[in-house]
Amino acid sequence: MTLNSPEQLQIFLDVATEAALAAGVILQDNYLKLEQIEEKGRPGDLVTEADKQAEAAILKVLNRHVPHHQILAEESGTLGQADSEYLWAIDPLDGTTNYAHGYPMSAVSVGLSIQGSPQVGVVYNPFRDELFRAAKGLGATCNRRPIRVSQTQELGKSLLVTGFAYDRRETTDNNYAEFCYLTHLTQGVRRSGSASLDLTDVACGRLDGYWERGLKPWDVVAGIVLLEEAGGKVTAYDGSPIEINSGRILATNGEIHPYLSKALGETPALSEWKSTNP
């Protein structure tokens, strides 16, 4: 099998699925039973015993099936062979703050990049029992049924989603201005607290577009594959090719992409926003 053959990608997709489901069981078992919640250095950046146990379950699956691959895990950092062409980006609990508060909007995200390009993605929401799966060229599904992005063509008729980085209290580059501006240009902007679920919601047509900053690869690698395979588009804010390590992403159904990109570029500073009449 060649490096990116459909047969090989299907194998990796099955591995990612096994890992995500194993982690999902742990999240369900620990839900509303947490005994230890810690901050990882920044206010609001939480970690629980569920994060750690779920990550251990994912690593166990990956080490059994793909022991020579490199892994980038939210809690454990970089593991495995540094020169590997394969990099797994895993978030065992995307939406830890939600989870810690008993708000059921969290997911497991398991993505695989090959030679720097996202190729496989699985996102599992154990609270809605929704399993999103995709691999490059193999399409995207939710619970084994094909999914597709929306057909909304106008920014004014779109429903968007975004999020805010943990350092939003310390930096003016905090997405508040964009949130306010686009709330007035669209039919609304939601905030789920889980980047992977934001991407899957765009992928299956519940939402039309998503942007955010301050992200890590484990937040988005899986979701990028899902969205693109569902017919969507993922770029940098300005429409150029995305650089995953930049922390910024613009993801849409494709139809509103240029309009959302333009609006992000034109967003006035928050101090000027009240005088703007878009």
pLDDT tens, position by position, 193-246: 999 999 999 999 999 999 999 999 999 999 999 999 999 999 999 999 999 999
State the pTM of this model: 0.92
Tell me how far apart the alpha carbons of residues 238 and 157 are, in angstroms, rounded to a whole number.
21
Tell me how far apart the alpha carbons of residues 103 and 76 are, in angstroms, rounded to a whole number.
25
Beta strands per DSSP E along the chain: 37-39, 46-48, 70-73, 77-79, 86-94, 107-114, 117-125, 130-135, 139-142, 145-146, 160-162, 189-190, 209-212, 233-235, 249-252
pLDDT given at position 144: 96
pLDDT tens, position by position, 5-27: 999 999 999 999 999 999 999 99
pLDDT given at position 4: 83
pLDDT given at position 174: 82
DSSP one-letter code for 256: S
145: pLDDT strictly greater than 90? yes
Q: Count Cβ atoms within 10 A of the Cβ of residue 220 and give its class: 0-12 exposed, 13-18 middle, 19 or more buried.
A: buried
Mean pLDDT of 103-122: 97
The proportion of the chain whose per-residue pLDDT surpasses 70, expressed as a percent, equals 89
pLDDT tens, position by position, 166-186: 655 566 678 999 999 999 999
Contact of 252 with 260, CB cutoff 8 Å:
yes
**Domains parsed from the chain with CATH numbers:** 6-146 (3.30.540.10), 155-275 (3.40.190.80)
pLDDT given at position 68: 94
pLDDT given at position 95: 93
Mean pLDDT of 50-67: 95
- Which residues have CB under 8 Å from 166's CB, separation 6+? 42, 43, 44, 45, 214
Average pLDDT, the chain: 91
